[in-house]
Amino acid sequence: MSASPSVSPEIRRRGLMLVLSSPSGAGKSTIARTLLANDGNLTMSVSATTREARPGEVDGEHYYFVTRETFDQMVADDEFLEHATVFGNSYGTPKAPVETAMEAGRDVLFDVDWQGAQEIQQYAHDDLVSVFVLPPSIEELERRLFNRAQDSEDVVRGRMDKATSEMSHWDAYEYVIINDEIEKSVSNVTAILASERLKRRRQNGLLGFVRALGVGQ
């Protein structure tokens, strides 16, 4: 066996895309906020939207709030990873910031519906890690939506009507969690992220490192 060189090859990891999906009110946004607060290498993908900002939302931080004309031009210029219209408002994920972050080894978190996840899959391939968040029950989902006090009763009823359709796509995801306790759910997604980061295919330079150890020589 030959001697190992004095300097080992550098192992660099390409960032991954962590997609969280759920029906409205199931808790994915709370999980996402907690993950971002706890993990300095995780960054949120900021979407563009045509909807009005809610109280407390900041342009460029929560969303890029754009006009319909601007959004349509971005679609025409192929600037989105995915885009969709939900409850009369359009949402889209810009490509460029995501690729820049991943090339720097940072992971990007997406809060999207199942249709958005499918579109991202066409672009991401092996970079994608997908997690679907289920509520513990339909009754609890409805309670959470009403307790948010952000939407009218008609909007809440519309979200409940759509929830069953959204949840029917749970089996298109790699991982599924039931969000009955937020701390447990955050812990589960954290474990998924830790495991995915260690996958061999994400470790650029690993083969050179192993060869430097004298393995297989």
- What pLDDT score does 4 carry? 41
Per-residue pLDDT for 16 more than 60?
A: yes
- What pLDDT score does 1 carry? 42
Distance CA 122, CA 129 (A): 13
Which CB contacts under 8 angstroms, 24+ apart, belong to 181-186? 182/27, 182/30, 182/31, 182/34, 185/27, 185/31, 185/133, 186/31, 186/34, 186/35, 186/38
| Domain architecture of the chain: domains with CATH | 12-210 (3.40.50.300)
Q: How confident is the model at residue 214 (pLDDT cuts 50, 70, 90)?
A: confident
Per-residue pLDDT for 179 more than 90?
A: yes
pLDDT tens digits along 20-69: 999 887 888 899 999 999 999 999 999 999 999 999 999 988 899 999 99
- What pLDDT score does 3 carry? 46
At residue 189, the 3 state secondary structure works out as helix
**Predicted model pTM:** 0.81
Helices (H) and strands (E) in the chain, counts: 8, 11
- What pLDDT score does 170 carry? 94
Per-residue pLDDT for 180 more than 70?
A: yes
Q: In terms of pLDDT, which residue wins out, 156 or 109?
A: 109
The rounded mean pLDDT for the chain is: 88
Per-residue pLDDT for 151 more than 80?
A: no
At residue 19, the 3 state secondary structure works out as strand
Q: How confident is the model at residue 149 (pLDDT cuts 50, 70, 90)?
A: low
pLDDT tens digits along 115-136: 889 999 988 888 999 999 999 8
The distance of Cα 100 from the centroid of its chain, to the nearest Å, equals: 16
CA distances from 1 to 4, 9, 30, 176 (A): 9, 18, 53, 46
Q: How many CB atoms lie within 10 A of CB 76?
A: 8
Question: Are 148 and 25 spatial neighbours (Cβ–Cβ below 8 Å)?
Answer: yes
Distance CA 152, CA 149 (A): 8
